[in-house]
A and B are shown apart, each in its own frame.
Chain A
């Protein structure tokens, strides 16, 4: 035994070990066992993801066989005669998420700019950052309760006024119906705001200080630096943040189930009740049987496909820019 010759860096387990005492042998056996256990847990996570996709796909199969892709374009949702179509829910999901992002993106980017571009001492920055993180921690169902009590009364007044004065515009063609698109999207915007703000902040922080200082030294104002240096350099990261937020918004359930009105229709009006895939699932799964379960599984599969594809794209973009170090 020449131990010095046998120590190969990075491959400790390949060393033919000397005769070990019972205790050392037990430790070694435990080492092997524990290593295997971590390996198992790690691949178990991957397997779980695959299992989720396969399980939902398997259960959606009867509905897929029955409707094929026509399901995506049909507007009927008739539980009595078991005829199902997904279009109103896909429309509701996409429109409510898009509206939410329309509200949340400028706010999120503004917060990110405010928290990175030398406006505040870093302790105050930390306080604001933490406050925005708290917004992400509030449970969805409480946002629903809050939206019901605070936002809906406001959007009712707003909606009725807009309908009375601008009713010719398709966006305001119906009077406010209580729960409807606008309050749902507004609350959704608040819920995805922290994601956008945090990731946009990471992206803006990664822009090189020297370039900005150079521009300032040449006489640029703060906003000329932001517009011509910071934002262009961070644009990939910000785009990734928005895409990730879109994935979150489309999967958000409870607040929407409480605020969007749960009506299976397609209307251009911001003040008409609608429905999303997730809120339909939350409301219908409890009592569903037979063919309806299959149709709901088909909807779940569509939602899963959309959110996972969007998330994967966002992760790829963020990994590419190295901005995904920390999620909210």
Chain B
């Protein structure tokens, strides 16, 4: 109990010592208070963001926003973000389709086939560096590698998102696989299964909840990303007809409508934020419980 140690002893031997002790505990207690205040101060922005999204977005949210097209600027007609929602879902889908297989296979290589080796260290380092790559640079890369040769499209946006999702999937899957107890693998091998049978039938299914959680976190992250798709998928005010054309997304819609002189569009941006925040928070809360349970 450190608290009891903070208070000076009742009968201090000399006046001098007791004064010194009092100063020491005043110093300690005031820093305690400072730390509490600073932690609470850090939570205020979170509360404020949630409050604003509820007051500006959720209150004005109408279900038909989910299937209507964005209104033209200056028109007071009410519209929605149906095309942006579809675009976001499709591009995140493409991103997951590319990044999940590659990411899971990479993590399997790291933990099951080359644990602790030099190549595993190199690959893990690359994944960590990739996770620190600014998201805008994923967009720049896809712009140079894809858009300049073809055109702005949902494919390009999805590929840019997959670069951001890949390290998240790798690191989450790796952590999930490392948590599978060793004796399960040994049991399977002892029964005559080969390493791949062990991975596919024992290790992966055991780690599945945590892996799915990691994938969900990557999806939630990608759904809110704007920088990589702003000039790879661009935006469109119409329904998606083909994956090979500029595609709307929720994030770019929020960015475009954030400070236009049109209250209707600003409300639309806040309502879109409400949907995105809902997605992100629900995913994070689910993942929190899944990860906590598996510990």
Chain A residues with a Cβ under 8 A of chain B? 12, 27-28, 30-31, 34-35, 37-46, 48-49, 51-52, 55-56, 58-59, 106-108, 110-111, 113-115, 118-119, 126, 128, 130-135, 137-146, 148-150, 190, 193, 197, 216, 219, 221-224, 226, 244, 247-248, 250-254, 257-258, 278, 281-282, 285-286, 293, 296-297, 300, 303-304, 307-308, 311-312, 314-315, 324, 326-327
Q: Are A132 and B42 in contact (CB under 8 A)?
A: yes
Q: Are B196 and A34 in contact (CB under 8 A)?
A: yes
Q: What B residues does A327 contact at CB under 8 A? A: 131, 171
Q: In the bound complex, how far is the Cα of B38 from the Cα of A107, in angstroms?
A: 6
Q: Are A251 and B133 in contact (CB under 8 A)?
A: yes
Interface presence of B141 (CB below 8 A): yes
Interface presence of B72 (CB below 8 A): no
Q: Are A110 and B129 in contact (CB under 8 A)?
A: no
Q: What B residues does A134 contact at CB under 8 A? A: 46, 281, 284
Q: What B residues does A258 contact at CB under 8 A? A: 255, 258-259
Given contacts A107-B38, A149-B56, contact A142 B273 (CB under 8 A): yes
Q: What A residues does B170 contact at CB under 8 A? A: 45
Which residue, A40, A41, A52, A135, has most C-beta atoms of chain B within 10 A? A41
Q: What B residues does A38 contact at CB under 8 A? A: 105-106, 108-109, 112-113
Given contacts A55-B144, A278-B227, contact A27 B197 (CB under 8 A): yes
Q: In the bound complex, how far is the Cα of B146 from the Cα of A55, in angstroms?
A: 11
Q: Are A142 and B130 in contact (CB under 8 A)?
A: no
Q: Are B6 and A49 in contact (CB under 8 A)?
A: no
List the 10 shortest-distance A-B pairs measured between CB atoms, nearest first: A251-B134, A139-B224, A41-B105, A311-B132, A38-B109, A110-B38, A221-B28, A253-B227, A42-B109, A285-B231
Interface locus among B78-86, B119-127, B205-213: B119-127
**Cβ distance A150 to chain B, nearest Cβ, rounded Å:** 6
> Count of B residues near A, CB < 8 Å?
99
Choose among A110, A244, A285 the residue that contacts B39 (Cβ–Cβ < 8 A). Answer: A110
Q: Are B136 and A253 in contact (CB under 8 A)?
A: yes
Interface string of B214-226 (1 = CB under 8 A from A): 0000001101111
Given contacts A31-B194, A42-B109, A137-B284, contact A49 B126 (CB under 8 A): yes
Q: Are B38 and A223 in contact (CB under 8 A)?
A: no
Q: Are B273 and A281 in contact (CB under 8 A)?
A: no
Given contacts A106-B38, A223-B28, A253-B227, contact A142 B53 (CB under 8 A): yes
**Cβ distance A20 to chain B, nearest Cβ, rounded Å:** 11
Q: Are A143 and B42 in contact (CB under 8 A)?
A: no
What residue of chain A has the Cβ atom nearest to residue B199's Cβ?
A34
Interface presence of B36 (CB below 8 A): yes
Q: In the bound complex, how far is the Cα of B199 from the Cα of A205, in angstroms?
A: 33
Q: What A residues does B35 contact at CB under 8 A? A: 110, 113-114, 119
Q: What B residues does A285 contact at CB under 8 A? A: 139-140, 143, 230-231
Q: Are A56 and B125 in contact (CB under 8 A)?
A: no
Q: In the bound complex, how far is the Cα of B50 from the Cα of A143, in angstroms?
A: 11
Q: Are A45 and B2 in contact (CB under 8 A)?
A: no
Choose among A30, A42, A107, A251 the residue that contacts B106 (Cβ–Cβ < 8 A). Answer: A42
Q: What B residues does A133 contact at CB under 8 A? A: 284, 288
Choose among B39, B49, B134 the residue that contacts A252 (Cβ–Cβ < 8 A). Answer: B134
Q: What B residues does A142 contact at CB under 8 A? A: 49, 53, 224, 254, 273, 276-277
Q: Are A48 and B166 in contact (CB under 8 A)?
A: yes
**Cβ distance B236 to chain A, nearest Cβ, rounded Å:** 13
Can you name 16 A-B residue pairings with CB atoms under 8 Å? A34-B199, A35-B195, A41-B109, A43-B123, A48-B130, A110-B34, A110-B35, A139-B280, A141-B226, A142-B254, A145-B270, A145-B273, A146-B49, A148-B258, A221-B5, A324-B128
Interface presence of B135 (CB below 8 A): yes
Interface presence of B290 (CB below 8 A): no
Q: What B residues does A257 contact at CB under 8 A? A: 255
Given contacts A55-B141, A118-B2, A253-B134, contact A111 B123 (CB under 8 A): no
Q: What B residues does A145 contact at CB under 8 A? A: 254, 258, 269-270, 273
Interface presence of B137 (CB below 8 A): yes
Q: Are A139 and B137 in contact (CB under 8 A)?
A: no
Q: Are B227 and A140 in contact (CB under 8 A)?
A: yes
Given contacts A145-B270, A252-B134, contact A31 B197 (CB under 8 A): yes
Q: What A residues does B11 contact at CB under 8 A? A: none
Choose among B5, B126, B221, B227 the residue that contacts A282 (Cβ–Cβ < 8 A). Answer: B227
Q: Are A254 and B255 in contact (CB under 8 A)?
A: yes
**Cβ distance B170 to chain A, nearest Cβ, rounded Å:** 7
Q: Are A244 and B132 in contact (CB under 8 A)?
A: yes
Q: In the bound complex, how far is the Cα of B24 from the Cα of A282, in angstroms?
A: 52
